[in-house]
Structure 1
Amino acid sequence: MADESLKAEMLAVARAARAASYAPYSNYRVGAALLGEDGRIFGGCNVENAAYPQGVCAEAGALSAMVLAGVRKAKGVLVVGDGQHLITPCGGCRQKLREFAQPEDFWVLAVNESGQQQQWTLEQLFPHSFSPDHLA
């Protein structure tokens, strides 16, 4: 898991991403900060679309930014949503994250606006996942 300094930096990235999100339909903004294996942090926000469910989740946006930067492995993600509830990546994003992570080593940290936080490994959130190894 990340140290407190890295968590604070990731939280700032996730909050800035959430502030930039486009959520005119649900009015539920989400920001994510993804830690690449090279130590860089990639932000992503949810982008909704009138043709539900064609929107993009915050985690998927962060993954796209990471891949665009040439990074192919991730260490963890911090997710922050509106309100008091802790949120975790949806099922589709768990699968997307799995593509670039080892589930037992990849951490998922959820933080709400009150500062409450909880952490899991991707393995805990997504056990027995399908991976690129299945296609080898």
Structure 2
Amino acid sequence: MKIVECENYNHKKFYQLPIPPSPNLKTPTAIFLYPSLCLFEGTLVSVGRGTDLPFEVWGAPIFQKGGYSFVPKSMEGATKPMYEGQTCYGGKLQMEPEAALKILNHKLNFTFIKNAYFLTKNKPTFF
């Protein structure tokens, strides 16, 4: 294997993709949060597909707490989103991309999944 070094590149340097890589990764913040929030895939928690903030919000109808609510609807990139038409309660992580990087510190952040797990009454059904 040959490693090709990039000139003037630093892992901690902010870089914004010129084109969104997916209809559900519309913003730099969503892209940075994706590695941590994608851990919700396969659980009972929605990551906001079918909203204007996919991968910047999380929630489920079973949560009665949470500082944020959203209702997923069918749209381009999310034709049949989880909990379509139902009010989901949870959290909103919308922030400036630089703030997302600071929170994540270039690592996975399990805080979001831990918070959702603690809101779940029937914990064996969470995963």
User: Structure 1 length as normaliser, TM-score?
Assistant: 0.24
The structure that has the greater radius of gyration is 2
Q: Relative contact order (alpha carbons < 8 A, sep ≥ 6): 1 or 2 greater?
A: 2
More strand by share: 1
More helix by share: 1
